[in-house]
Amino acid sequence: MTKVGAGHTEVERLFQGGTAERNASATRHTVLCDGAMGTMLYSHGVFINRCYDELNLSQPEMVHDVHHEYLQAGAQVIETNTFGGNRFRLERYGLANRVRDINLAGVRIARACVNQMREKQASEAFVAGAIGPLGIRLEPLGKTGLDEAFDAFAEQVKALVEDGPGTGADILIIETMPSMTETEQAILAARSEAPGIPLIVMVTVDEDGNCLDGTTPEKAAAQMTQWGADAVGCNCSAGPATVLSVIERMRSATHLPLAAMPNAGIPRAVDGRTIYMTSPEYMASFARKFIRAGATFVGGCCGTTPNHTRAMRSALRAQSVQDAATQEASVSVGTEKSSAPEGKDSVEPPPLGQRSRIGAKIAVGDFVTMVEIVSPRGIDCSKEISGAAQLHQLGVDAINVPDSPRASARMSAQSLCVQIQQNVGIETILHYTCRDRNVLSMQSDLLGASSIGLKNVLCLTGDPPKLGNYPDATAVFDVDAIGLVNIVRNLNHGLDIGKNPIGESTGFTISVAANPGVPDIENEIRRFAFKVEAGAEFAITQPVFDMRLLEEFLRRIEGFRIPVIAGIWPLTSLRNAEFMKNDLRVSMPEAVMTRMGAAASPELARAEGIKIAQEMLAEARPMVQGVQVSAPFGKYAAAAQVLGLVESVEA
């Protein structure tokens, strides 16, 4: 790397370690960077029509407070509030002549905050001068020349390092670069004005993983290495999954340390506000994946907050402890890493076959039959209990109870599960979503569920409230389904969410959902792999009407497959099929639509729907370990007929 100036020996250590060393100890040199500055300033009431960089001059206390929050959350590197501090972006606000003032103030605010934290906690943190793209098109696509771009970057870099070693920026971060043409000018300018300052350079990519000018990650990494970067990587983009894929590809093209700082997912517009949906826990799960892929610098971009940084810090610390324990075990006894969660008080849960009757059947490979029963909208669940009793007598293995599907207000799934088990004796599977509870409430619910005999949990993210009858209701989503699986797995190992001992194992069998017909199947496969890694033990699919999709999904998960239960839905009418296709976005073959449309009466339509479901069950049976049959509109006998447990049902 470039020679680091005097006083920067600690900074230089951040960049130590080549590929071989990192493979030996993935977390030895991991550096946690902060998250979004703009997101935090917006949350403080600064509207997007303001120049955020100018706040270094007019509201330095606010900028200081954001830096302080990130340092408190555990960030080791904080970026100055200078992402847009170049003459082209500042010109839009009439501030082109304030480049030096804004950047110098940005560094001094960050430096003061780092110094204060160091005095209080004797902790080491570093200031990174943030350099974003110019926000204009360069030749030959635009009118701005390469020399003008170089000059603009050089002007900003000069201000960021003006105060000198240990006082100016410790590191320079060139980030969110859309094209390699602009990236080259930024690197050349940084090397010209600050030859002794370590330089991290990151591009932003599209959903296919390529830079916005079409450059592949491999080529981008090679070029940035050649031009003089000290670390390369990817930030912003479509979220952590995309960034992970990019740095995995970059690893093969460079010997330099890698940097991964994704957005908190793709933003969504909700009631006029731009919301990033990725939870801190989900981001933390990717922090571990980044370092396993070879990243040295890990942080966040748009939509991330100190809560994301705090969760990532915990994940990295836990990974460091786990890796150290693994290395020690490998040296002493040559064993592989245990899959149990970290914690000296962790306990081993009972084997899957001893946790529940469903777990026992899945453990030995028996075919499992389940029927879904939806909770009532009121307090009378006699119909549901009667239906469960009927199905139990016919030989169904378990009853699935959804958790307020489509964000509707119904009797709690936990209450109906308890009443069915107590009154009928059949085992239930509790659907549990992340929509309505924070992580503390989840833990309380799950501990209670285990104590009253509920032993099967289906971990779901949950439908957003806007899909239901109360669109103004507030969703929580502290975690998504992946994070929830981790919580349940920890409880099974006798640990709460803080890794504190709770005593016995909760003994849950852990299941997750899968959707073979989702349009973005790549993301579905990726998330399914994460669910399995988190601790899922079997999966239940969404209703499947095209068996080719199920077959392809099973082929794609072959390397990390767990037992799969196929979802079967007996259609009741053409309108029901249209609703499934258009409102629920379920893949519906045209042949199925034609068959349902050809039925001459409601009775014949229901009979045709059952026949189609029976055909799908017969086709799916050799591929899966069970089926879950839904009972549309409470037609439990129809579900039993699909399973072949009764000959016919009344019209």
Q: What is the DSSP letter of 619?
A: H
| CA separation for the pair 192, 93 (Å, rounded) | 28
Residue 381 assigned as binding residue: no
| Cβ 42 vs Cβ 48: under 8 Å | yes
| Cβ 196 vs Cβ 163: under 8 Å | no
| CA separation for the pair 274, 64 (Å, rounded) | 24
By CB atoms closer than 10 A (0-12, 13-18, 19+), residue 423 is middle
The DSSP element (H or E) to which 529 belongs, if any, is helix 521-534
Q: What is the DSSP string of 498-510?
A: TS-B-SS----EE
| Cβ 543 vs Cβ 586: under 8 Å | yes
How big is the chain, counted in residues? 651
| Cβ 435 vs Cβ 476: under 8 Å | yes
Tokens of residue 170, six digits: 């410790």
Show the beta-strand stretches assigned E in 373-454.
398-401, 427-433
What is the radius of gyration, based on Cα positions, of the chain?
Answer: 28
Q: What is the DSSP string of 576-595?
A: HHHHHHHTS-----HHHHHH
Tokens of residue 166, six digits: 């240990």
Pairing outcome for strands 273-275 and 268-270:
antiparallel
Tokens of residue 582, six digits: 């258009």
Nearest to 259 by CA among 287, 282, 218: 287
Q: What is the DSSP string of 54-92?
A: GHHHH-HHHHHHHHHHHHHHT-SEEE-S-TT-SHHHHHT
Q: Which amino acid is at 146?
A: L
CA 302 vs CA 187, 201, 267: distances in Å = 23, 17, 9
Mind spelling out the 3-state secondary structure of 284-320? HHHHHHHHHCCEEEECCCCCCCHHHHHHHHHHHHHHH
| CA separation for the pair 108, 85 (Å, rounded) | 14
Tokens of residue 49, six digits: 């029509």
Nearest to 461 by CA among 531, 388, 380: 531
Nearest to 499 by CA among 511, 485, 481, 487: 487
Tokens of residue 282, six digits: 């989900």
| Cβ 11 vs Cβ 171: under 8 Å | yes
Strand partners, 295: 258
Pairing outcome for strands 564-568 and 258-262:
unpaired
| CA separation for the pair 197, 426 (Å, rounded) | 67
Residue 51 assigned as binding residue: no
Crossing angle between the packed helical segments 180-193 and 146-160, to the nearest 10 degrees: 40
| Cβ 56 vs Cβ 106: under 8 Å | yes
Residue 302 assigned as binding residue: yes
| Cβ 539 vs Cβ 563: under 8 Å | yes
**C-alpha angle 18-24-26 in degrees, rounded to nearest 5:** 80
Summarize the annotated binding site as residue ranges: 236, 301-302
Residues annotated as binding site for Zn(2+)?
236, 301-302
